[in-house]
Chain A
């Protein structure tokens, strides 16, 4: 199809529609076609709303193009509420539930002209780093179908990597946008906590959760953030700031802190370290100053994250009790119904985290666990603030390894957890963080580089990511699953 090149990014698509070279309907049809052609082997989508999307596209074609996402196909992670659409969080617990209301991001995306084509697969309630805990079965990595796409926004990353959609909205509690973006070779942005309204995002760890875009390019991610960011009277934790906008600025003179333990050394796949070293050398050549940063406090990040996130989970998931929505398994009495519903509705990982969190909050243990974790979180936040007084961005790996084989870590929850080592810091400190593709390993699996910024500093990490991306257009590579099924113009493998 001739329109393929224009379908690569949201920016090119919006331009083509505005120029009259393409209709929103044509773009939407292509998106739906790609889902049909590719998703049987990927499992990225859990729900496709074809008719609604086409009707919406037809509507858009009748009006003059206006919004910055006019005609752009967007998929939502399945923990984001859209009125009348199934929203399952990839859990049996929410089977059959369709929220009666739209998330704030949904309203903003639609107002900007986006065409929402469906919901993407994820780890159940966002709990996992591989999209294997989904009640619908795993999503496969489009670069190697035997590997995981990362998680928990694995479906979103796979859908963007294969061009089913130009953009997907994911959520990130401990790395759930950035890590799958890295493992699937796309851009993933976790905004500052409070930048994007959480209204309509089914909560995992409320003090950590933040929605953000997965896209092919940094500019596309910024374009989407411009649409969804901003204060919301329905979310009291939203920042009280005006609209957020971005225009790329030159990076020469930028001070880039390098988290030494997260760019080299044990635990890091050598090819990841090599790719990061090359990127760092490029930044230096581009006029940036590299500053080694140790930040020993990061050693506490994972236990702190798991204590806080699980505590919030144990409370956030209490509402799933079979009384008002979703799964209900009747028993003889109230307690029995509650027990049966929750036993059958939740998967093993979710139960594990509910139990951990319940314990961490229980009488006699609360101060030792939850109380202490809150204090350490404060220390970590202060440590980040200190670092950002000296540097503009913090560079590290997004994930210490590239995509791992399906099933390889399922029986080892601790190994799964440790893969979040580079990402949880930004959630604990509420900072923005971006993952951009920075190469491939020998098996052809993508590598991601993480750029973290100070609170409210999305613009500077996007500047850094955008400059690197222009010099290294890794994003133009296409995964074989897309390549094999339908050669797309402009796609070259690295």
Chain B
């Protein structure tokens, strides 16, 4: 019988902060600009240039720290991490080692069986490096030469380091997804893994299940999608188990995930690891924050995804509906705006998910783009709730209201969609229609209940669009269930 193994995983996530300008100079941070077009003497590491800290980066890092339950330090400090690489213009990266801006904290994974708490060790601020573009080959290997693009050099990053609390690749993926969502909700990161604005390294080790001592840890880099993260960790866990079972040692090293090979490959061993010679950066004074500053920043904390989901479920949404809404901060914002116009959360959510999203997708619009139409959307829902409009009328009007900003009342009037107050005419038409369809009625009575939909449809047709399935359905049921005179 083979030993059961368990994995121990911790993640280091680098998130680019969504500041307008870089962390130590005034250059813009816009992605995808021509190479070296967003560069100045400071971020190009010119002799004599000096860094000056961007206050907005500090605010965003602190906000992330608060949202994740960490302690925002009274005093934090920037250090220099010294190493040579062509994408690092100064020959050192300005980072934080001994005194990070945030210590501690946690992130709760929204697991099916209930939340699992993952502890955070720290969050620190640092600057991003530039980018190398290799020529003559798809990667570094085989390249004839490499070009340096410094647009990204100096973009602010926070590095969020988790404790080794993740038990498998699935949890690691969930952690990254949930963390991404929190940062997105805070507005401190744009969540674009494919553009590298969120990057992840994993520390993986295995040990006999139920034991406490940690195994030798391997760091995996280059995990730039949820899929790669999960696959790489799965593959690395299996590799480590195979080695241990074959009696081979695990080497402490850094490995790279190679998608084409479906495996991790060794990048450098611990012995080759650079001595970064960290020391406090003399160009930057300590960052000193007080309670008043923290209080002002914490006023900018939005409701977090977990709380949103909880509130959604409490309002009667399914777990998956709540996840879908809280999983898109822009959509949630639209939802809140609709609710702000007086619509109950459950109705606003159902109509948004059921009809609103489709319209937006067809029109290629983001929820944020139609915020000013939330009022019209809310009134449209209200008209249906008050039975002034039939449900199908909602579907007919929603696009014009949400996408084009039409007034629902004027539009309903123009299209003649107002429901007449029910004076008993619906019941009369139900009676007429069902009497004209004896075969189908007989089918229903013989137990073929699927035919009900057809019958309701025929009644609605006869009502020429002014019928509401919500009213017509029960009328049909009552008619069918009532033994007839004949």
Contact = CB atoms under 8 A, between A and B. Distances in A.
Interface in B59-95: 80, 82, 84, 86, 89-92
B53 A103 contact: no
B50 A236 contact: yes
B50 A315 contact: no
B447 interface: no
Contact of B41 (A99, A198, A203): A99
Interface residues of B toward A: which range? 20 to 34
B385 to A, nearest CB: 57
Contacts of B82: 314-315, 318, 361
A101 B41 contact: yes
B80 A81 contact: no
B35 interface: no
B32 interface: no
A234 B90 contact: no
B483 to A, nearest CB: 89
Contacts of B437: none
Contacts, number: 101
A361 B279 contact: yes
Nearest to B150: A324
A80 B50 CA distance: 13
Contacts of A236: 50-53, 283-285
Given A87-B47, A362-B275, A318 B282 contact: no
B338 interface: no
B47 A99 contact: yes
Interface string A386-413: 0000000000000000000000000000
A50 B182 CA distance: 60
A323 B86 contact: yes
Interface string A315-352: 10111110111000000001000100000000000000
Contact of A200 (B44, B48, B51, B278): B48
Most chain B Cβ neighbours within 10 Å, of A101, A312, A323, A363: A323
B313 interface: no
A311 interface: yes
B285 A201 contact: no
Contacts of B154: none
A65 B82 CA distance: 49
B13 to A, nearest CB: 26
A80 B284 CA distance: 20
A416 B148 CA distance: 41
B299 interface: no
A94 B82 CA distance: 21
Contact of A237 (B45, B84, B285): B285
B52 A234 contact: yes
Contact of A311 (B275, B279, B283, B285): B279
A474 interface: no
A198, A199, A200, A315, most chain B CB atoms within 10 A: A315
Given A100-B41, A312-B282, A315-B80, A199 B90 contact: no
Interface in A195-227: 198-203, 205-207
B315 interface: no
B53 A315 contact: no
Interface residues of A, number: 45
B175 to A, nearest CB: 31
B301 interface: no
A269 to B, nearest CB: 34
A319 B275 contact: no
B90 A318 contact: yes
B314 interface: no
Given A321-B84, A323-B86, A237 B283 contact: yes
B393 to A, nearest CB: 60
B442 interface: no
A237 B48 contact: no
A432 B53 CA distance: 27
Contacts of B48: 79-81, 87, 99, 103, 199-203
A202 B89 CA distance: 15
Interface residues of chain A: helix, strand, loop or mixed (majority):
loop
Interface in B251-310: 275, 277-279, 282-285
Contacts of A100: 41, 46
Contacts of B244: none
A324 B47 contact: no
A164 B21 CA distance: 44
A100 B44 CA distance: 11
Interface in A286-320: 311-312, 314-315, 317-320
Contacts of B46: 81, 99-101, 325
B49 interface: yes
Most chain A CB atoms below 10 A, which of B47, B84, B282:
B47
Contacts of B148: 323-324
A370 interface: yes
A358 B49 CA distance: 22
A153 to B, nearest CB: 16
A103 B49 CA distance: 8
A315 B47 contact: no
Contacts of B283: 203, 206, 236-237
A198 B47 contact: no
Nearest to B25: A234
B282 A234 contact: no
A422 to B, nearest CB: 23
A437 to B, nearest CB: 31
A200 B49 CA distance: 6
Nearest to B45: A319
Interface in A101-126: 101, 103
A237 B52 CA distance: 9
B451 to A, nearest CB: 77
A318 B285 contact: no
Interface in A3-55: none
Max chain B C-beta neighbours (<10 A), residue from A312, A314, A319: A319
A137 to B, nearest CB: 22
A241 interface: no
A382 interface: no
Contacts of B44: 324
Contacts of A89: 47
A370 B279 contact: yes
Interface string A223-248: 00000000001111100000000000
A361 B284 contact: no
Contacts of A237: 50, 282-285
A144 interface: no
B78 to A, nearest CB: 10
A362 B277 contact: yes
16 contacts: A81-B46, A198-B50, A203-B47, A206-B282, A235-B52, A236-B52, A236-B285, A237-B282, A237-B285, A312-B282, A315-B80, A315-B92, A319-B47, A324-B89, A325-B47, A361-B279
Given A97-B47, A314-B277, 16 more contacts: A80-B48, A81-B47, A94-B47, A203-B48, A206-B282, A237-B284, A237-B285, A318-B82, A318-B84, A318-B91, A319-B89, A320-B91, A321-B84, A324-B89, A358-B277, A361-B278
6 tightest Cβ-Cβ pairs between the two chains A and B: A318-B91, A207-B282, A361-B277, A206-B282, A202-B47, A81-B48
Interface of A: 79-81, 87, 89, 94, 97, 99-101, 103, 198-203, 205-207, 233-237, 311-312, 314-315, 317-321, 323-325, 334, 338, 358, 361-363, 366, 370
Interface of B: 41, 44-53, 80, 82, 84, 86, 89-92, 148, 275, 277-279, 282-285
